[in-house]
Amino acid sequence: MKILVVEDEIKIQSFIKKGLTAEGFVVDCLDNGDDALLQIQHNPYDAVVLDIMIKGKDGLKVLKKIRQTGDQTPVILVTARGDLEDRLEGLNLGADDYIPKPFHVDELIARLRAVIRRSEGQPTNILQVADLKINLMTREVLRGEEAIELTPREFALLELLARSPERVYSRMQILEYVWSYDFDPNTNLVDVYIKRVREKVDILEPHLIQTVRGVGYKMRQP
């Protein structure tokens, strides 16, 4: 899952990014509202963590603008503990949740997963394609009755493909989502990881991960 963190306190920004990355999230960070609006307009995110007190347009103005454009990307506001008025205004403007400072990164992770599930209309934490089951909360993967151990990057790659079966992802799209690369580093990184995930996931028939020649990869829905 790809998250945008908008926070102008560098220590807090670093703390959030470190915690989310350790859990397998792909994280982009910005420190002002003006850049955040441009980034959100041109890049898809699963959720946004948005501090209210930031440089440029403040968090509430950014949120208002996002919702005015019809963008329903989940937004969690970060607020000072005593700012009840700002929290209420944020919820009225369309925030999905808020978290007061100081907070533990595990709480933020739980809230992020909850708002993302709600936005996707998922009643559970489970993605399922054929007999492949992916638990987004516990990060457990099963193929039939067989448990599969994946690294964080392998899990992020599998999750991306499983969220939209039959959708073809180019190598560039996979690089951007899983590694946050917005350029081609001239490596076979994606192909190497696809091979690793196939060796673990496609241990049974039917094989689910398919190559679309000249385009990229997709998760097949049998």
Residues whose CB falls within 8 Å of the CB of residue 127, separated by 6 or more in sequence, listed in order? 133, 134, 136, 159, 162, 163
Say if CB 96 and CB 50 are below 8 A apart.
no
Tell me the pairing of strands 169-170 and 146-148. Answer: unpaired
Question: Domains of the chain (ranges plus CATH)?
Answer: 2-119 (3.40.50.2300), 126-219 (1.10.10.10)
What is the model's pLDDT at position 130?
93
What is the model's pLDDT at position 129?
92
CA–CA separation, 75 and 33 (whole Å): 14
Phi, psi of 129 (to 5 degrees): -130, 120
Indicate the pTM of the whole model: 0.59
For 69-92, the pLDDT digits (tens) are 888 899 999 987 556 677 778 888
Say if CB 164 and CB 118 are below 8 A apart.
no
What is the model's pLDDT at position 36?
95
What is the model's pLDDT at position 167?
82
Cβ-based neighbour number of residue 33 at 10 Å? 24
Q: What is the mean pLDDT of residues 181-199?
A: 86
For 193-217, the pLDDT digits (tens) are 999 999 999 988 899 999 999 899 9
